[in-house]
A and B are shown apart, each in its own frame.
Chain A
Amino acid sequence: MMLVIVFGASFLAYNLEAYSSDPLSIFGESTEKNKDYLMAKMIRDLQLDVPPPIRYFSWLRGIVSGLWGHFDMGMTRGNIHVTSMLAQAIPVTIRLVITSTFLAIILGIAVGMITAIRQYSRFDYVMTFISFLLFSLPIFWVAVLLKEFMAIQFNDFLVDPIISPSVIVIAALIFGFVIAGFVGGKRIQFFSVLAGAASFAAVILTFVSATKWFIDPSLGIFGVTFLALVSAAIVIQLISGLDSKKGRFTGFGTAIAVAVLYYPLQALMSANASLLNVFAIFVITIAVGLIIGYFVSSIDRRVYLRIGFFTALLSTVPVIIDRFMREFPQYMNSDAVGGRPVPTLGQRNDLLTPEQIGNFWISGLDTSVHLVLPTIALTLISFAGYVRFSRGSLLEVLNMDYIRTARAKGLSERTVIVRHGMRNAMLPLTTILVNDFAGLLGGAIITEGVFAWKGMGQLFNDALRSYDLNLFMGVFILGASLTVTANFVSDLLYGVVDPRIRIRK
């Protein structure tokens, strides 16, 4: 069945594309002396004298030959194998969209569920407004704004990174309102949180401005410790609840252990480190977390191992980020970057010297700064959908009878929501998630265009524009097969995650 769908879709797509444009029309405005020869050559090379429905089968032959090992998607008009074009574009697209997809999913689901728990609160209204706003923004416009303010203006700002007092006040107030809205509560609580958060932000911003932190950033041991403790608090609250003594001990213990390891771990992060070193650091800290979890617990061991594991994982991230940050001044002042570290487009800086590329931290930093804007743009756009969907889904679950039963039998609110509510609310999301991941490889045509990344989306766009049928079909067949497969997988997955659905034997 799946094969029939893919076959039918590819036949239709091939013919639609073949009939929709005429590659010979580019010669209309040409004054070349050998125009006749060039036209005859194009007819020969693209087999324009063969009707498209028949031409389709010569293309299909190459695909079917894959069965006996002679898989052939044909050549592009530039004489390059379609397979190698795809091989080059797929990693680019994945690099572009993977971070933003994960970010959008995690943030979107988190925010969506919080708004569901606090239905009709100020926070809910504000987030509903924001998500509808983001939902309706065109990405090319978001990209233009991001480039103007987060790249061009920010780079200009870095020349003399002093934040003016008025900006500090406004930013602090905005931050205060966001936090206060997030915390909610009665009016007096709202304003006290607002005041607290705003003054905290003001202190931080003044500090950042006074020390020119932006051109020489780092977290240092204090920042790392602080972030590790915060991550521990989040993990504990989600897994065991903050009132569990053993949970607190495991989580905060692991966080402090990571902070203690901050200096010893620097040895693993020299200039010629590699991804393997980073991996090793995670292995070490996670081992520490697991050991703490193991020795703290006697019963319910899995819960504490989980706390140890996730706390170690999250609190190691600042350690790594800190290392990247400390390379920043050198990166920013290099000839290749010339003091303007945030680029508006591209995947990498082509002017970095081989030594700079050889330095894991510098090349990593380079890749990251190039990812900043597209990731923010894509996250903003796709985040909204997840917010709305998970909010609706959790609200529906929370109105179910079994939630009332769970509350009636005296389970803590945390257990009711995390264990009985959230888990069931995730069920309908699986279908969307699986299809979204299949869609990843389709690329993001517009985003890739405005950020000049040659991924699958641009490949598709170019193929359409240049009448490159083989390339067009290469992208198309990959997308079609993935979509069909994803639908199949999400059907299967549903049977696994939802005990009410079982596939009949």
Chain B
Amino acid sequence: MRKKMAIRAFAASAAIALVAAGLSVGAIAPAQAAAKSTVTLLSSADITSLNSGTSDGNTSYNAISGSLTGMGFSYYNSDAKLIMNTKFGTMKIVKQAPKDFQIEYTVTKGQVWSDGTPIDAVDLLLSHIVAADKYSKAAGLGDPANADAKPAFDSVGYGGTYGSHVVGLPTLSADKMKLTVKFDQPLPDWELLAPGPTPVHALELIIDGKKSLQSAAANKAAKAAFLKDFTTKNTARLKKIGALWSTGYDVTKVDSTTNPLLLISNGGFIVSKFTLGDSMTLVRNPKYTSGPAMATKNPIKTVVIKIIKDNTASVQALRNGDIDIYYNTLPTGNDKISLSALPNVTVLTKTGGNYSHLDLRVDTAFGETDSYTGPFAGNGAKAKDLRHAFLLALPREQMVSVIVAPVKSDATPLDSALTFQGTPEYNAITKASGVSEYSKGTQADRTAKALALVKKYYPNASEDAPAVKVNFAHANTTTRNNLAKLVAAEAKKAGFDVIDKPYADLFGEKGNTSAENDVTMYGFGLNSLSQSNGTEIFKSDGGNNVWGWNDSALDILAKSLQGDILSAKDATAKRLAMDKIVNSNYWGLPLYANPTITAYNKALKNIKPAPVGANITWNFFEWSY
């Protein structure tokens, strides 16, 4: 009995000890609200490299830090407008002939890299190496198109407009502040081809084994050495630089032991700490002059990019103040609700650069062998009427109200794939392109019209006896499946029997190109806004045209948008003409622009997300508390 009591006494005292976490009275520290000067951003995927020109696929995440550490000739603002950054430099066309098109880039004097080395046009030359396939071949750095071996510079820039049209080497002016590049034809999107600056002296120094910042004289010599290597096409040295450029910036961490030459920047910030998959810390670049001046009152001194892949976790982190800016390009209505409920944040919704579209197959997709013979095949009156009917019965307003409106309450269906929603050009084009037919009246009216069209060929068609069988391919995701249900229900009223075909991997299983599928629905992303935007979708041999669309008049318009330098007015006229053809052929309809959602600490000022480009960080210089 005594023992039992002892055990109990011991048990009780042990338990009490858990609460009695000791006692002593201390002074109460006053809570203070010091002026904050740090911003913690969310990145929902890993930052994998300090050089966003190389790594596969996810360059948009590396671009977050890239836009903080590097400034070039231009950037996109929150209205998706390309802004010329004259603090860095200017560009102009100096010659415009059918086979001789020259652009002169002038670097503004007086700028320096973060190590004090002056910035000049020599720093632009690396851009030529990593974009011009011809240079890579001529300098013995490998043919980028070779399927067996990587070129010395493992760049994502090869095979593009710059590489296919550039002629010879760019020429430097005597004071090395101007660079002239020659192309073999006028290029409408020449402003987007501007070379970006790279601290080439640092590359030279690192391949020579230097591990710390060097003197001004050594930097100058290194830059001269790069110019020499570039002009003489010194294969051995360029190969070393290529290896460094391709893999040397792919680091797992940055700390005090990291070679500071790798971190040289001309942007507002310099990387100071980085752990792969965890976070990156950037501090102010005191020598920053390559872009608009930083805010004068309470500007940001430190930026942390925190990698959080779990969406709920990021929302809670924002609430707790662990992050200051939350950004989501694929938000749901629930995200909007939970973010709006947070007391300490401002929520912004915007139209993003990505949009969803629904398209009808009219012919066999390019490169496919099974020929397409479905109800929409060809350009006969019946096929056209059926396509017209299907599009009329497409409940776009309902789709928007279910998917987009919970995030962005004033969203409307997207009416053109050729221009950005909300701009004056967009309004002008959609008013006249014939697309307004799909928003006139109520959906019931339009569906009735659709049924009438179907009845022309199938007099007995009705909701209960659908006459036209249609295979509908889309990705097997919640959003797409919900949309598909809406489409099928409405189309049934117009006499269509929609067979829903969700694909786990729409593109991998060739669901989008298969001749079995009459209708497809997916998204397109925009990384830049150019004159030729969207033309590849509608051109008969366009890389994105997988529905067999073919119209010679449209091809001429598309070619002109891709290859002629047009005034804004002419470009708009051609886009309008293209959209008219698309709509009169009943090829398909854009559905909606995906909304984006930004939520940030209320105390922060001037957070203005941009739909394309560097999204959140493009205007870091305006941020303040």
Contact = CB atoms under 8 A, between A and B. Distances in A.
Interface string A174-216: 0100110011010000000100110011001001000111011
Given A197-B12, A335-B36, A454-B277, A220 B23 contact: yes
A224 B23 CA distance: 9
Contacts of A49: 147
A318 B22 contact: yes
A227 B17 contact: yes
Contacts of B16: 179, 197, 200
A326 to B, nearest CB: 8
Contact of B313 (A80, A196, A237, A450): A450
A79 B48 CA distance: 9
Interface centre among B58, B145, B252, B523 (most CB of A within 10 A): B252
A88 B276 contact: yes
Interface in B524-545: 524-527, 533-534, 536-537, 543-544
B302 interface: yes
B32 A216 contact: no
Contacts of B20: 200, 204, 223, 226-227
A344 B12 contact: no
A455 to B, nearest CB: 9
Contact of A343 (B146, B148, B312, B322): B322
A30 B56 CA distance: 13
Interface residues of B, number: 99
Nearest to B148: A44
Contacts of B458: none
Interface in B295-348: 302, 304, 306-310, 312-313, 316-317, 319-322
A338 B56 contact: no
A88 B278 CA distance: 11
- The DSSP consensus for interface residues of chain B is loop
Contacts of A31: 524-527, 533-534, 536-537, 544
Contact of B316 (A152, A326, A330): A152
B22 A42 contact: no
B312 A144 contact: yes
Contacts of B150: 44-45
Interface stretch (B198-206, B385-393, B428-436, B502-510): B502-510
A213 B156 CA distance: 57
A394 B538 CA distance: 74
B252 A338 contact: no
Nearest to A219: B22
A452 B508 contact: no
Contacts of A217: 21, 26
B36 to A, nearest CB: 7
Contacts of A413: 3
Nearest to A33: B160
Interface string A159-183: 1000000000000000100110011
A25 B2 CA distance: 75
B36 A338 contact: yes
15 contacts: A25-B505, A32-B160, A37-B144, A37-B158, A77-B55, A78-B46, A88-B252, A155-B321, A178-B15, A182-B11, A196-B12, A233-B10, A350-B279, A452-B307, A452-B309
Given A147-B320, A222-B23, 13 more contacts: A26-B507, A29-B523, A31-B534, A34-B158, A38-B159, A42-B56, A88-B253, A159-B31, A220-B23, A233-B10, A333-B32, A414-B3, A454-B46
| The 5 residue pairs across chains A and B that have the minimum distance between CB atoms | A223-B22, A37-B159, A220-B24, A28-B507, A219-B22
Interface of A: 21-22, 24-38, 40-45, 49, 77-80, 84-85, 88-89, 140, 143-144, 147-148, 151-152, 155, 159, 175, 178-179, 182-183, 185, 193, 196-197, 200-201, 204, 207, 211-213, 215-224, 226-227, 230, 233-234, 237, 241-243, 318, 322, 326, 329-330, 332-333, 335-336, 338-340, 342-347, 350-351, 412-414, 449-454, 458-459, 462, 466
